[in-house]
Structure 1
Amino acid sequence: MFGKKDKDVDSDSIPSHTSTDGNLNLAGSPNSPTAIKTNDLSPKSETPGQKPSEDNAPSPKDEQKKRRSSSAKAKEIFTQAKNSLMHGDKDGPQTPMQKLSKTDAALSVPQGSLNNSAGESRPTPNSSFLVGVTEDKNKKCRRTMEDTHSYLYNFLGTPAPVLTDNALTQKKSLEDRNSLSTVPSEPGHHVVETDNGYFAIFDGHAGTFAAEWCGKKLHILLEDLMRKYPNTPVPELLDQAYTSADNQLEKLPLKNSGCTAITAVLRWEDRVPTNNSATGSQAIAALAAAAAKEAEKNEKKDETNEATPRSNSTAEAAAAAIQEAKTKATRQRVLYTANVGDARIVLCRNGKALRLSYDHKGMDENEGKRITKAGGLILNNRVNGVLAVTRALGDSYLKDLVTGHPYTTETVIQPDQDEFLILACDGLWDVCSDQEAVDLVRNVHDPQQASKALVDHALARFSTDNLSVMVVRFDPNKLQQNTKIGIGVEAEGDKDKGAISEVEMIVSEARRHSGIGEEAAVSDQDSEELRQMVIREAETEEEEPGPELTPEGKGEAEKILSSKQEDTEMKSEGS
């Protein structure tokens, strides 16, 4: 009867046998290799000197060590798999990204911890923030993972401002010769500690090419621009970096591939109070730019007026103005953000969620007007009925409508109020509000655990997209300490000759390990020939027909074609 226990069979006494394929077979079942009687089960006889089974049981510490070891091995295997996908097998077929990495060392940088596309980056004792990242393919809804992310703990130090355009030109030409793509790998170099952070998430669509490329290259483009134009405001440099990335992607293969992007730069700046900025202060570099322009105007006036003797008084006055500003300046933590598409960044300030990005979607009224004005249509909240976002990197076939110009913000971090950042793709934000995300992890001080909690929350809410979440937790004590020291800002003529940026070190190491010589890296002709070859191969692969139909399939296809042809003839006769 139901609920009645069999007197002769006890659940604990049912023998079992585990087959080699991992399936559990009950004793006496047809699939069991051997049937073992229950009364044959007896404790094993002990040999002399053998301890009881209880003594042989592993201790809790041993079990914990085994679990940690297994977890570490799993992470290592996953990272190796990711790198093998990136760099490929020498003898096997290679993706366009793998082929392009033969001449561009930045694209050959191996994945770092937590699948960091920028390479291996670790915090230092003076780091005032910690990064945690969790990603999930969401295998129930997605067959592939199209997201990538990157972060750096020691991004480029804040360049000292320059006073004249001549100095700027000299600096620019110098950096052109020693750009990040050609910096030699010399012994004795060490990474300068800046405590400047770079964080980014790229949500790919129509493949992973655009997202992977941006994860490897965007921070390099941005660092090059910051070196060349130290007086230019960072939001403008972010816009230039996005535009440059967009232009380069347009020339590369897989033109249908694209990605949304959210990028944040956290850096130290010497800033002076002003009423002309929404933040209440501005960087000294902005004053340097204004002073340089004023000096240039005065010099041009002196050149037109022959009676006026030429002198360096204007440049000296500009230098004096900057020196005076430095006496009023204070060291502040500034956060710059840029985004295209629906990836989002949220700042927690006193427990309140502050969104620092803008969702570029077809349902947005302003974006809809822009698309219509450019000659496109919004159908079912999609650009021309195809793309759900109105701004993205890549998507060359829609570039007249889908721009790569980002929405940018500038925020001065308040050490006593600002707690952490959340960067995530739309897989999280589709099922979770900004404030809900902040409330969920505000009391989780480990950023890695916080990012995992947000991913688990999105999965529990039945998110249908890939998930990538990055949490950046601020350390208020170290923020206060670092405001009193010169970390993050380069002094004029006081830079250590042996110090290079973290990006320079990572790229040079990748060049050394991949065997890309300095000559190959700077050979424009060879690089261009390989790039064109990769593009031609990719275009050929896209144009190649699919597999041949079986005889049965051919018959079905012929029937469908003939029926369509008959319908067309009947319509033409009727008309």
Structure 2
Amino acid sequence: MSSVATQSRNNLAGKQRRSLSGQGGLLNRMFGSSSDDRKDAVTGDGSQKSEPPQSPMPPSNTTAIEESKDEVPNDMRSPTRKSTDEPTSTDKKRRSSGVGRARDLFSSAKASLHSLGGSPDSKSSDRTPQTPMQRLGKMDPALSVPTGSLNNSAGESHPGPRSTFRVGVTEDKNKKCRRTMEDTHAYLYNFLSTPAPALGSDNNGKSRTSQADSTTSALSEQGVVETDNGYFAIFDGHAGTFAAEWCGKKVHILLEEIIRKHPNTPIPELLDMTFTSVDQQLEKLPLKNSGCTAVIAVLRWEDRIPNSQSATGSTAIAPAAAQAVKGESQSSETDQAESKLRETASRQRVLYTANVGDARIVLCRNGKALRLSYDHKGSDENEGKRIAGAGGLILNNRVNGVLAVTRALGDAYMKDLVTGHPYTTETVIQPEIDEFLILACDGLWDVCSDQEAVDLVRTIEDPQTAAKALVDHALARFSTDNLSCMVVRFDSDKVQETAQNKTDPIGVEGDPATKPGGLSEAEHIVLDAKKKLDESGIETLDRVPTEEIERQQEHEPGPELNADALEAAKKKAAANS
């Protein structure tokens, strides 16, 4: 009886060994492991050699081994047999390494197929798709300007010895809520000098950018004029990043050009002209679905004369001089009129702002928040009336159920409703009580009031630290949008010294510190970009094929109109009337 039981156990054990042998043979044929490795895994006394920890077995292999174990009852296994039947660490290592080899094999094959998709002679850079901005940069050097410190779209800009302000910027994609970053920002420490009055024709201003092709080498030898005039901007994109990126690199250049051409025109009017020009140029580009909100500030030195009819109590000398000499015919009378105005003029710090959409700018004046922008939203009554007057509807606080803002740059497909004309302000800075500016997109203002933002950073002297504090505050308040915050901190002592003529005047054309024919910072940055394009052999006058850009547009479509909601709203409006 004992011999029969022993023979039965041997037969069952043989089945078990054949089952394991079948599994091992299959793995060996798949991954090339030798049978000698398995023998070496168990020593003569039955103990296993120590192996380094391996990755866990794939579920399919583990299941197969455990099913073969069940063929032998537990009460019929000897201790030695159990040790032999259980998968050793070498078995695990072999299977794990085999899976790794297979994974590497598939990855290598995939990479080979991908590389065969292009021409063997094509360069690696040709296989990398270029963005629309990179393609347009071959035609317009301003669009090829590399991003500067703090992700500055205008390029590298640093304060000079006479700078009376400092800029800090922090941005955050808010990855918990957003997959892409659609905000851009730009700033300059030495924006264009304030032009002297042009008492002849208003169109005497010269455009150097239009002459850049023929005078690049000559202009590049001239130094940048330190003006202490600042430019600050934030652009919050929607339906893609194209419009915001384009504005970050182009708006300040267009504004400088328009100021040169119209030196006697008030800056608020020139800002409106600039925004109109931006819309016109964006409409000519293939990506017509993209748009952005914008908030822009220009901080500059001006010679101003008292004016009781002005809300600021003064006015810039250039428009006043042009108005005073309008009826004068002789040059001597013109010079005399200008001289009288200069006798009463004083150098002042002036801040101009313009915005479309819900990006906002706030001035801290003696600890109080002073908003210098207007939120153009569908929930605004005045904007709702304007949209209705233009033939549109506000559905769920959105223009035709699509856009949450009623004014923006770009959005050419609905430009008849979503205008690009900005809200503008003019503020004379009072150095004793004006402390800093906050520019930010709606990602901050949706969760933070103007006064809360001012109170949060008023005691933080470093503008970069202040900007980060605002972004962190918005994230802690569970903001669901991209975040971009810019803080501009004024140096009150330096501002007062310049305003009170304790130092040489700066910032106005004709000042001793202003080099005749010098470059603005924006001009210098663009010229450097053009030189790099020339050195790389890229011809900037080549037409950029629009097929690739139009193909990119298909991947970033604009929001579509909800036709059913629009029809229902029309019926409801007709019933109410």
Q: Same fold (TM over 0.5)?
A: yes
- Of residues 184, 189, 198, the one that matches 1:162 is 198
Percent sequence identity over aligned pairs:
67
Query: In the aligned structure 2, how far is the partner of 1:286 from the partner of 1:545?
Result: 44
Distance 1:181 1:106 in 2: 13
State the alpha-carbon separation in 1 of the partners of residues 362 and 140 from structure 2. 34
Quick one: distance in 2 between partners of 1:362 and 1:503?
Answer: 36
Partner in structure 2 of residue 412 of structure 1: 428
After superposition, the Cα gap between the structure-2 partners of 1:123 and 1:495, relative to the gap in structure 1 and judged at 3 Å, is closer
Answering whether residue 174 of structure 2 is matched by residue 142 of structure 1, we say no
| Aligned twin of 2:378 | 362
Q: Partners in 2 of 1:325 and 1:460 — Cα distance? A: 53
Q: Which digits, 9 at most, give the CA deviation of each residue in 1:294-320, with x for residues without a partner? A: 23xxx5xxxxxxxxxxxx2xx322321
Mapped contact 2:307–2:315 kept (Cα < 8 A): yes
Please name the residue that 1:277 is paired with: 310
Question: Do the aligned partners of 2:355 and 2:374 also contact (CA within 8 Å) in 1?
Answer: yes
Whether the aligned pair in 1 keeps the contact of 2:143 and 2:246 (CA below 8 Å) is yes
Q: In structure 2, how many angstroms separate the alpha carbons of the residues matched to 1:463 and 1:140?
A: 10
In structure 2, relative to structure 1, the CA distance for the partners of 1:442 and 1:541 (3 Å cut) is closer
Within 2, Cα distance between the matches of 1:237 and 1:188? 30
| C-alpha distance 238-498 of structure 1, shift in aligned 2 (>3 A) | closer
The residue that corresponds to 2:533 in the other structure is 514
| Matched letter for residue 528 of structure 2 | E
Quote the Cα distance in structure 2 between the aligned partners of 1:89 and 1:185.
29
Q: Superposed, which structure 2 residues align to 1:495-510 within 5 Å?
A: 496-497=515-516, 499-510=518-529
2:12 corresponds in structure 1 to: none
Write the deviation string for residues 310-334 of structure 1: whole angstroms up to 9, x where unpaired: xx2xx32232111111111110000
> Does the residue aligned with 1:158 lie in a helix, a strand or coil?
coil
Give the 3 Å change call, closer, same or farther, for CA 89–394 of structure 1 in structure 2.
Answer: farther
State whether residues 105 and 181 of structure 1, in contact with CA within 8 Å, keep that contact through their aligned partners in structure 2. no
Q: CA deviation at 1:189?
A: 1.5
Deviation at 1:293, TM superposition (A): 2.6
Structure 1 residues 361-398: Cα deviation after superposition (integer angstroms, max 9, x where no partner): 00000100000010000000000000000000001111
Match runs of 1:547-558 below 5 Å? none
- Indicate conservation of the 8 Å contact 1:180/1:224, yes or no: no
After superposition, give the CA deviation of every residue in 1:518-553 in whole Å (9 maximum; x if it has no partner).
9955x5xx4xx43xx32x43335556999xxxxxxx
1:152 maps to: 188
How has the CA–CA distance of structure 1 residues 326 and 516 changed in structure 2, closer, same or farther, with 3 Å as cutoff? farther
Contact kept? 1:159, 1:227, Cα under 8 Å:
yes
User: In 2 relative to 1, CA 487–493 (structure 1 residues): closer, same or farther, beyond 3 Å?
Assistant: closer
- Structure 1 vs Structure 2 CA RMSD: 2.7
The structure that has the greater radius of gyration is 2
Question: Is 1:386 equivalent to 2:402 in the alignment?
Answer: yes
Q: Contact 2:321/2:341 (CA < 8 Å) preserved in 1?
A: no
Q: TM-score, normalised by structure 1?
A: 0.72
CA shift, 1:491, in A, is: 1.4
Counterpart for residue 184 of structure 1: 216
Output aligned runs, 1:65-214, within 5 Å: 89=125, 91-165=127-201, 168-169=202-203, 171-172=204-205, 174-175=206-207, 178=210, 184-186=216-218, 187-214=220-247
TM-score by length of 2: 0.72
> SS in structure 1 opposite 2:361?
strand
Q: Which amino acid aligns with 1:267?
A: R
- CA 1:218–1:518 in structure 2 vs 1: closer, same or farther (change >3 Å)? farther
State the distance in 2 between where 1:18 and 1:290 align. Answer: 87
**Contact 1:105 1:516 survives alignment (8 Å):** no
Change (3 A) 1:452 1:228: same
Cα shift readout 1:165-197 (whole Å, capped 9, x = no counterpart)? 1xx44x34x426755687614453211100000
Name 2:347's counterpart in structure 1: 331
Aligned CA distance change for structure 1 residues 112 and 251 (closer, same or farther; 3 Å): same
Whole-angstrom distance in 1 between the partners of 2:264 and 2:536: 33
Once residues 18 and 127 of structure 1 are traced to their aligned partners in structure 2, the CA distance between those partners, rounded to angstroms, is 62
Q: Is the 8 A contact 2:227 2:514 kept in 1?
A: no
2:369 counterpart (331, 353, 361): 353
Q: Which residue of 2 aligns with 1:79?
A: none
- The one-letter code of the counterpart of 1:253 is P
Q: How does 1:9-28 map to 2 (within 5 A)?
A: none
Q: Which amino acid aligns with 2:469?
A: A
Aligned residues: 437
2:356 aligned residue (340, 347, 367):
340
2:138–2:539 Cα contact (<8 Å) kept? no
CA deviations over 1:428-467 (Å, ceiling 9, x no partner): 0000000000000000010000000000000000000000
Structure 1 residue aligned with 2:390:
374
TM-aligned CA deviation for residue 95 of structure 1: 1.5
Which residues of structure 1 form unaligned runs of 5+?
A: 1-16, 21-31, 34-87, 300-311, 547-575
Alignment of 1:262 onto 2:295:
yes
Alignment partners' CA distance in 2, 1:544 and 1:438: 40
Shift in alpha-carbon separation, 1:418–1:545, aligned structure 2, 3 A: closer
Asked if structure 2 preserves the Cα contact closer than 8 Å seen for 1:182 and 1:518, the reply is no
Query: Is 2:508–2:514's contact at 8 Å kept on the other side of the alignment?
Result: no
Deviations 1:393-418 (A, max 9, x none): 00111101000000000000000000
Q: Which amino acid aligns with 1:384?
A: N
Unaligned runs of 5+ in 2: 1-51, 56-88, 91-123, 558-577
Shift of 1:508: 0.3
**Superposed displacement of residue 470, structure 1:** 0.0
Contact 2:505/2:513 (<8 A) preserved: no
Paired residues of 1:106 and 1:507 also in contact (CA < 8 A): yes
Q: 1:460 aligns with which of 462, 470, 476?
A: 476
How much does 1:125 deviate? 1.7
Name the residue aligned to 1:477.
493
1:538 and 1:457 map into 2 onto residues whose CA distance is 38
Give the AA of the match of 2:424.
T
Q: Is the 8 A contact 1:155 1:503 kept in 2?
A: yes
Quick one: distance in 2 between partners of 1:358 and 1:148?
Answer: 20
Report the CA distance shift for 1:361/1:177 in structure 2 as closer, same or farther (over 3 A): closer
Distance 1:114 1:193 in 2: 21
Contact kept in structure 2, 1:103 and 1:516, CA below 8 Å = no
SS in 2 for 1:241: helix
Distance 1:91 1:226 in 2: 42
